[in-house]
Amino acid sequence: LGMLEGMLRVLPEASVGHIGLYRDEETLRPVSYFCRLPVNLSEAQVVLVDPMLATGYSAREAASMLKARGAKRIQFICLVACPPGIEQLHSVHPDVTIVTAAIDPELNKFGFIVPGLGDAGDRYFGTG
């Protein structure tokens, strides 16, 4: 949600869908709780946005959900990524283009990017 307003300034005619995932703190795997996408994604250029590409599991799951709905051209845009997340996303979806502002070197034992920006959701919503 934090990147949506900026994306709509750049792509004001875009259709918007939402995929809600949260990370299980023990397994670091994504858990889906919401999915509302445009009906026909087969001809669309899909832009998947998330502030961070850390473990890559959520991005991988979101790309899988989009492809299950017919998406063929997916671009993932984030602010900060790290090599394990890039490798994880591309291990299942090598066709997904990744655009990032920065690549930080590693993840800590909690699956957060180091040095990173902290928890993007906590920062955006002021809940951290």
pLDDT digit string (tens) for 22-61? Answer: 989 888 899 999 999 999 899 999 999 999 999 999 999 9
Q: Which two tokens stand for residue 125?
A: 């919503």
Determine which one of 27, 95, 97, 123 is catalytic. Answer: 27
Tell me: pLDDT of 118 over 70.
Answer: no
Has 27 been annotated as catalytic? yes
Tell me: pLDDT of 17 over 70.
Answer: yes
Determine which one of 24, 95, 97, 122 is catalytic. Answer: 122
Determine which one of 29, 69, 73, 119 is catalytic. Answer: 119
What are the structural domains, with CATH classification, of the chain? 4-125 (3.40.50.2020)
Has 122 been annotated as catalytic? yes
β partners of residue 78: 100
Tell me: pLDDT of 121 over 70.
Answer: no
Q: What is the pTM of this model?
A: 0.89
Mean pLDDT, residues 101-116 taken together: 91
Determine which one of 23, 50, 55, 60 is catalytic. Answer: 23
From CA 57, how far away is CA 9, in angstroms rounded? 28
pLDDT of residue 2: 75
Has 24 been annotated as catalytic? no
Mean pLDDT, residues 13-18 taken together: 95
CA distances from 32 to 37, 63, 72, 77 (A): 14, 13, 21, 20
116 falls in which pLDDT band (50, 70, 90)? confident
Q: How are beta strands 113-114 and 106-107 bridged, if at all?
A: antiparallel
Tell me: pLDDT of 91 over 60.
Answer: yes
Percent of the chain past pLDDT 70, that is, above it, reads 91
Has 23 been annotated as catalytic? yes
Phi-psi region of 9 (alpha: psi -120 to 50; beta: other; left: phi over 0): alpha
